[in-house]
Structures are given as structure tokens and as C-alpha cells.
Chains A and B, each alone.
Chain A
């Protein structure tokens, strides 16, 4: 799994860490049952505060993408399969948006609005 953060980017670091893990789950690089590195290890590697990583893991847990298991640490949960399932739909939607000249930001806003409607 690949984590990447850019301190110069606008988004908070915990959002960026969570987004990296979501992206790996969406591509199938991370599947249900895969163990994540400990929050301390990630904090050390990326040179960020431990609480930043814990907050990212917490967010993912609330989404069902990560489960916290006693003794095993953070493990990828069942929501990863659903995310991977949606990947083909997302790619088709993105291709259609490119055809119509709709940019990534507008498309993301559209999807977010649609997801929040129901």
C-alpha cells in the first residue's frame, strides 16, 4: 500500500492519509483482512504527529473501511470490497465527464451532492 501526503496541499494531512488508503482499497491493492501498519509506524515514516494518523484511521473506521482489532491493530474491513466494486462505475463516469468537458472538481462536487441527497 502506498501513502502519500503533501503538506503544501490544502487538505488536512489526516484527510490525505485516509484518501491514500481509500484509493488503495478502490484499486484492490488493499483487500479485506489486510493489516495496516501501526499508526506509530506511519507517523514515524511520514514525519507527522501520531494523532494525525490516528484521526485518519478513526475516520476510516467510521466508514467501515478499517476495523480496529485488539492485538492485530488496524485491519481492512468489508467495505473495501464495495469500494472496489464501484471503481468500474466511477471510471465510466469519469470517462463520460471527460467527453463532456466536465473537470474533476465539478465531477467530484456532482458525485458528492448525489451521495448526500439520498
Chain B
């Protein structure tokens, strides 16, 4: 074959997609085979004093398919495309390992909770679920660890940063660059959708059953809404004072003063593999405002630390910042 075999990608698919699907499918089959021996409804929830929640028996295989099959696939859907595109990173490898570990853990818990109830007339007589949990946790962790080891080591590719020449200006000319670092519309829409969904869910649950769960959900919705409002749009300004990055709601303010700028460059960032995600990220040697993968302004401080912010017109911002940094240095000498 002319195309070199990508071990990281094929292992990621085997560990993060094929294995969890096989595990979930096996669990569903085992559960369906048990249905005849089970009480209906079955116990599905255990409290401090024993069984306190019931559901029709058929819902457990359904939940198994959705949770033990769906959640790992969701995690792999985030990690596999970048790995196939050649990205490498700790978080990508970890997501794949967590996917298979979580899948096995959930499959064991759900199947084990049914095994406990075989032969019972009334699900209320079911014993404690703790032994099942005690067995599922270490096995899930061990499988996750194996999933980590089965993948090859992710060697981070060196990131090229292109230094930018200062904007040419006449003596005494003043400049200001203004732009926005924004999340792409699709993930932003997904976040807003999730917030609205949580809010609606909180309302429904609050009205129909559990007020405590409703408060937890409502709190989560408010928290995510606040985070979306504060951390998805940043206003970026470059002027004589240096680089200023402020969140849209004004809560977060970061930046680099002109006198602290040692170098200015444009670079391409990959959110997941380089920074382990999106938002305000801190990794050894760098702080970054990463709202999408792609073009970014990279500022190196006098102490060597880097500050990175994703911008469509990173080159324009870099040229102005390089110019004002030059002025600041001239003023110091």
C-alpha cells in the first residue's frame, strides 16, 4: 500500500469504537436472555436503605445500549476524527481509553444489577448493588488502562510559528487593531441547545417529581449559560498598551503589556491535541484562549512564556502588536 498505515488511528477505532460497541451489544444480548428469569418491574435504583427505584425490565437493555454504547461512541466521535487527521495528544489518547473503560463499567453495572434479581418474585427483595459496583469499578479502570496501553504513544508534532514583521508606520502614527475570538457557530449552537434543554428538563422534573433534581439541573443550566456567555466570545484589542483580551461579558481580562512582548508570531492551533480542549487553557509554557482550531496569534513574553489567542486575522493583529512592542522597547532604551 502506498499510504502508510496509521497505527494510532486504527488502534483508536478498535479501542474506542469497536470494543465498546461489542461490549454493549454483548451486555444487551445477555440481559435479553435473562429477561424470562427476572421480576417485572425490575429494581433500577438503590438508596442507602435498599431498593428505591423500579422500571419495566425491557428499559434496562435499552439504557445499556444508550449509555454503555452511546456515551463511549460520543467520546470517540470527539477524539477519532482529529487522530485520523494526524493530530496527537494526551487528551485524545485518554478520551479513547476512557471511552472503552466507561463502556465496560456501565455494561457491568447494568448487567450486574439484573443478575442480582434473577429468580426473584419481587424486585424489592433484591440484595445490595454494592458488590456489583465494587466489581465494576476496578474492571472498568483496568480496561481503561489497557485501552491506554494498547494505543501507541502520542508524539506531539512540533508546531510551527511564523514570526510576523511589524506594521510599517510613520513616526507618530497611532494604530489600534480590534477583533474577536469566537467559537464556531456549530459548537456554540450545541452548547446553547444543551443549556436550553437542561433548563426545560429542570422545569419538567420540578413540576412533576423531584424538586432537588430540578434545582441541580437548573443550577447546571445557569452555570453552563454563564460559561457560554463569558467564555465563547472574546474581544481582542491591540494598541499602544499592548494586547488586551476580554470576555464578552467583561468578567475575564487577560493580555500582554507592550513592554512584556519579546516576540510575535502567527501559528495554527489544534484545540484538543495541543491544549486538551477549548476555552482558557493553560499548558506548560503557555496560556491560551482557544475557541476553535485554526489561525492564532502567538505572543512570547520576556520570560519565555507564550500567550496564544485564536483569531481569524491573526496576521493583522500580530503586525500591529510587533510594531507597538518595538515602540515600547525603544521607549525603554
Contacts and interface: CB of A to CB of B under 8 A. Distances in A.
Instruction: Please determine whether chains A and B interact with each other in the same assembly.
Output: yes
Contact of B170 (A8, A36, A47): A8
B306 interface: no
B172 A3 contact: no
A20 B289 CA distance: 28
A13 to B, nearest CB: 9
Contact of A45 (B172, B240, B313): B240
Contacts of B178: 1, 3, 36-37, 41-42
Interface residues of A, number: 19
Given A1-B179, A4-B169, A29-B313, A47 B174 contact: yes
Interface in B289-322: 313, 316, 320
A7 B175 CA distance: 11
B84 interface: no
A3 B171 CA distance: 16
Nearest to A4: B175
B173 A29 contact: no
Contact of B237 (A4, A5, A35, A45): A45
A1 B170 CA distance: 19
B315 to A, nearest CB: 11
B239 interface: yes
B173 A5 contact: yes
A3 to B, nearest CB: 5
A3 B175 contact: yes
A46 interface: yes
Nearest to A29: B313
A2 interface: yes
Nearest to A3: B176
Interface string B176-188: 1111100000000
B176 to A, nearest CB: 4
B239 A45 contact: yes
B177 A1 contact: yes
A2 to B, nearest CB: 5
23 contacts: A1-B178, A2-B177, A2-B320, A3-B178, A4-B173, A4-B175, A6-B172, A6-B173, A7-B172, A8-B170, A8-B171, A29-B316, A35-B180, A37-B178, A37-B235, A44-B239, A45-B237, A45-B239, A45-B241, A46-B174, A46-B239, A47-B174, A47-B240
Interface of B: 167, 169-180, 235, 237, 239-241, 313, 316, 320
Given A2-B177, A37-B235, A46-B174, 12 more contacts: A2-B175, A2-B176, A3-B177, A4-B174, A4-B175, A7-B172, A8-B170, A8-B173, A37-B176, A41-B178, A42-B178, A46-B239
